[in-house]
Amino acid sequence: MPLPLLVFRGVRAIDPARSLDAVVDVVVEQGRITRLGPNAAAELVSSEKARVIEGRGRWLVPAFVDLHAHLREPGHEYKEDIESGLAAAAAGGFAHVCVMANTNPVNDTRAITEMMVARARSIGGPSLHPIAAITKGQKGEQLTEMKDLRDAGAVGVSDDGRCVTSSAVMRRALEYASNFDIPVIQHAEDHALTEGAQMHEGAVSTRLGLRGWPRVAEDVIVARDVLLAEAARARYHVAHLSTMGAARILREAKSRGIRVTAEVTPHHLLLTDEAVLGYDTACKVNPPLREPEDVAAVRAALADGTIDAIATDHAPHSPLEKDCEFAEASPGLIGLETCFPLLLGLVRSGDLPLARLIDALTAAPARIVGLPSPTLKEEAVAELVLVDPEKTWTVTPERIRSKSKNTPFLGKEVRGSVDLTMARGEIVFEAGEGV
């Protein structure tokens, strides 16, 4: 049940979509924002019916939209399930989570798409939006019934975890999906170039004696797909873009008006292949952590809007898949709960304007999958995050709500915390120590 009356008193409200950045009161009644403005709640704060949350230097921003998370249900619930995944999302400030199809069985049917949506609705919390498979069983051969999947709630299609390598299949996928106005989301990896690869191909992989995943394996797929998307006049989205070459190709494609978009993950913005030097399997991820010039390129591309959105690629794995030799470990790391605090570091260092960070977590991803964006304005459903930009906390297994703890940031102290999240007009997360 939505709270009858909630007052955020004297918060810094920031919503780049509305050019809003001001200290205001925000009033939420029956799950909707009803007042927003300087001192707008003056006569409400003494009301017995109101719950008043003092701003105390904190920010109120639109709730986040994640384009890319693996919640592992059905099939791998020992790593994560929809309930634990949504709890992690809420703790990270997300009101919407798009979930990938590489479940077991693969989400390539209406029945599984519907099951995911129904399961999430029965739990409550953030909204779940399936991204169904492009091809049956993610085998890269036969297309799925995209209209059925879209009608059941899928907001895009992707074989993420695998690349659609056949140009013919990708062409047909783009043409077919364009009938339903959903994006085709590519995991750009030419598997013939990455066979047996454990990490990025470069000086560090040579030093460690690990087989490398060359950048060009991403670049050739993005370049080919841009041409196919142009020919099909379809919407093409690059998942977890990680190389300077892919950023360059995307920039050029956009300048020619092709309907391409991309996302980048927090880990590709923050870490390089040097993180693998200690053979920490938490740093094994696909695409791999790249070199400093790639990190600089994806940061610049995010800052200038070439890369539209930030997506977590939250990929939970249990100790079974991670406490083993590097070559045996599964790729992936969790990211829902650390995304915003970690990326605030890029704002502080001057690498990313705050307004661009918020846009890349809210309006931009919502636009890509056709969802109404959370926004701070009167009449809007309350989907918002209360952030303490100064509060420090340490990433520990106890604090993480995800069932899996595979993050290279364990033990790290971060500055910035999500104190409260609202989704669909309800409070779905509140920090334990009281807000």
Which residue is associated with the tokens 């695998």? 162
Runs of H (alpha helix) within 283-424: 292-303, 319-322, 339-348, 354-361, 363-368
DSSP code of residue 281: G
C-alpha distances in angstroms, 98 versus 125, 183, 185, 260, 415? 14, 13, 12, 18, 26
As measured in angstroms, the least distance from the Cβ of 317 to ligand DOR is 6
Element (H, E) at 310: strand 309-310
Question: Would you call 15 a catalytic residue per the annotation?
Answer: no
Alpha-carbon distance 381 to 19, whole Å? 19
Alpha-carbon distance 245 to 186, whole Å? 16
> Which residues are paired to 426 by β-bridges?
423
Residues 6+ apart with CB under 8 A from 360: 302, 307, 308, 309, 310
Of the pair 58, 284, the CB lying nearest ligand DOR is at 284
* Class of residue 408 by CB neighbours under 10 A (exposed 0-12, middle 13-18, buried 19+): buried
As measured in angstroms, the least distance from the Cβ of 331 to ligand DOR is 4
In the structure encoding, which two tokens stand for residue 181, read together? 């106005």
As measured in angstroms, the least distance from the Cβ of 385 to ligand DOR is 26
As measured in angstroms, the least distance from the Cβ of 12 to ligand DOR is 35
Of the pair 210, 382, the CB lying nearest ligand DOR is at 210
The DSSP result for 71-139, as a single string, is --TTT-TTT--HHHHHHHHHHTTEEEEEE-S-SSS-S-SHHHHHHHHHHHHHH-SSEEEEEE-SBGGG-
Of the pair 34, 330, the CB lying nearest ligand DOR is at 330
Q: Nearest residue by C-beta to ligand DOR?
A: 332
> Which residues are paired to 414 by β-bridges?
393
Alpha-carbon distance 435 to 418, whole Å? 10
The DSSP result for 137-162, as a single string, is GG-SSSBP-HHHHHHTT--EEE-TTS
* Class of residue 257 by CB neighbours under 10 A (exposed 0-12, middle 13-18, buried 19+): exposed
Of the pair 96, 284, the CB lying nearest ligand DOR is at 284
Of the pair 92, 331, the CB lying nearest ligand DOR is at 331
Name the CA dihedral angle for 319, 322, 328, 330, rounded to a multiple of 10 degrees: 110
In the structure encoding, which two tokens stand for residue 206, read together? 């040579």
Q: Which of 108, 159, 219, 313 is the catalytic position? A: 313
Alpha-carbon distance 108 to 88, whole Å? 25
As measured in angstroms, the least distance from the Cβ of 10 to ligand DOR is 42
As measured in angstroms, the least distance from the Cβ of 196 to ligand DOR is 16
Of the pair 96, 268, the CB lying nearest ligand DOR is at 268
As measured in angstroms, the least distance from the Cβ of 240 to ligand DOR is 7
Position 102, amino acid: N
As measured in angstroms, the least distance from the Cβ of 38 to ligand DOR is 46
Of the pair 178, 205, the CB lying nearest ligand DOR is at 205
**Phi, psi values for residue 173, rounded to 5°:** -60, -45
What is the binding site for ligand DOR (CB under 6 A)? 70, 102, 160-161, 187, 285-286, 315, 330-332
Position 274, amino acid: E
Query: Residues with catalytic annotation?
Result: 313
